[in-house]
Amino acid sequence: MPEREDSYAVRDSRQVVKKFLARPQHEGVGAIVRRSIGRFELKYFDPFLALDEFSVTAPAGFPDHPHRGFETVTYMLQGAVLHEDFEGHKGTIGAGDVQWMTAGRGIVHSEMPAAQGTQKGLQLWINLSSKHKMVEPRYQEIASKDIAEASNDGVKVRVIAGEALGAKSPVYTVTPTMYLDFTLKPGAQLRQPIPARWNAFVYVLEGEGGFGSATKPVTASAHQLLLLSNGGGGDGLEAWNKSLKPLRFVLVGGEPLGEPVAQLGPFVMNTEEEIDRTVDDFENFVNGFEKARHWRSESGISLGF
Ligand code: FJE
Ligand code: FE
């Protein structure tokens, strides 16, 4: 069989066990997000806390707000976002760029439009294990031109985290995670291995595709989230583009933490007691929030939490 080694490795596709359409809702100040993971029907998909497809046009945005206990991954699809934090770390995330932010014990920052028109992207919130919730904050920023890409037989991948089609991302993921941006030309087929026991989902950005079973694929189009089966044999994802237009989707997988989750907005810990302590820390500017006392972003607006 003339198959590549890595695609041959997928013997049996994981199945689509649930499909959601992410509808627009208001978030931040005047911003619109299509939230799939994190809405009430799907509060948590271990280790993923939220997936927002955001759309923001000045003066709307996500002004000064804190985070603790997880990572945020911002992947820009169109336009640019200016980020500034209370340590003086500042920059723009442009189309195709990724910012992998490990909030750890605490970050206060703002995320605001940095270009004319509408800025679009995906923001994924990945939980941290109890062992890592209070780590030092850290950023990994990868410019679009430095994102590993590979192509094969009408399939193109941009590797945000993990590896695919022989291309590998330099991003270090505290919680083991894969994050792949696939584009399939009309007629193309994909077989992508997914580590055993990892939870994985697909979010469609553009076009229409078939996913999962070869005999009974589930059809999905833009703004739809597909949860993939975990256990029961599947060792990867199979996807097809039987349409006449390009199909673009992200495939994201992560190792489940299996820990209790206590969440108050942008604070995610294991217990209510830890959440109470976090609110105390934030209000008293201690244990990682010291610099929040005097810091304001350029916008000077606060989202609170
Ligand atoms: C936040 C409300 C928010 N999704 N997608 C409350 F809107 C936010 C927040 C974001 C956000 C930011 C970007 Cl750039 C993209 C997003 C929610 O900033 F953190 C809280 N607590
Ligand atoms: Fe944020």
Tokens of 162: 């993990």
Residue 142 has pLDDT above 80, yes or no: yes
CA dihedral defined by 135, 270, 178, 120, rounded to 10 degrees? -90
Q: Inform me whether the pLDDT recorded for 140 exceeds 60.
A: yes
Q: Residue whose CA is closest, atom 15 of ligand 1?
A: 123
Answer yes or no: is pLDDT of 3 > 60: no
Q: How far is the CA of 67 from the centre of ligand 1 (A)?
A: 10
Distance 10 CA to ligand 2 centre (A): 36
Element (H, E) at 274: helix 272-284
Question: How many helices (H) does the chain have, and how many strands (E)?
Answer: 2, 26
Q: Residue 216: enclosing H or E segment and its boundaries?
A: none
24 Cβ closer than 6 Å to some ligand 1 atom = no
Provide the pLDDT confidence category of residue 9 given band limits of 50, 70 and 90: low
User: Is 5's pLDDT higher than 70?
Assistant: no
Whether 6 has a pLDDT exceeding 60, the answer reads no
Would you state the pLDDT for residue 199? 98
CA distance 152 to 98: 23
What pTM, to 2 d.p., does this model score? 0.96
Q: What is the mean pLDDT of the chain?
A: 95
Q: Determine the average pLDDT of the residues in 255-261.
A: 98
Task: Report the binding-site residues.
Answer: 65, 67, 109, 111
Q: How confident is the model at residue 148 (pLDDT cuts 50, 70, 90)?
A: very high
Which of ligand 1's atoms lies nearest the C-alpha of 28?
Answer: 7
Q: Is 44 in the pocket of ligand 1 (CB under 6 A)?
A: no
For residue 37, pLDDT over 90 is answered with yes
Handedness of CA 289, 291, 293, 299 (dihedral sign): negative
pLDDT at 39: 96
30 in Cβ contact with 63 (< 8 Å): no
The mean pLDDT value for 53-64 works out to 97
Query: What's the DSSP call for residue 45?
Result: B
Q: Which of 147-156, 191-200, 226-235, 282-291 is the least confident region?
A: 226-235
Q: Give the per-residue pLDDT at 1.
A: 40
Percent of residues, the chain, with pLDDT higher than 90: 91
Binding-site residues from annotation for Fe cation: 65, 67, 109, 111
pLDDT at 8 (0 to 100): 52
Q: What is the pLDDT of residue 287?
A: 98
* Interval between CA 38 and ligand 1 midpoint (Å): 12
The average pLDDT across 10-39 equals: 95
Q: With a cut of 60, say whether residue 297 has pLDDT above it.
A: yes
**Residue 117: its pLDDT value, please?**
96
Cβ–Cβ < 8 Å for 122, 75 = yes
Percent of the chain at pLDDT exceeding 70:
97
Gap from CA of 210 to ligand 1 centroid (Å): 31
Q: Which amino acid residue places its CA nearest to atom 4 of ligand 1?
A: 52
Residue 53 in this model has a pLDDT that exceeds 80: yes
Phi, psi torsion values for 101, nearest 5 degrees: -110, 120
Q: Which listed ligand is nearest to 304 at the C-alpha? A: 1
| E-only strand ranges, 176-287 | 177-184, 189-193, 199-206, 208-211, 218-221, 224-228, 236-240, 247-254, 262-264, 267-269
Ligand 2 mean position, distance from CA 20 (Å): 24
Ligand nearest to the CA of 60: 1
Q: Cα separation of 272 and 264, whole Å?
A: 9
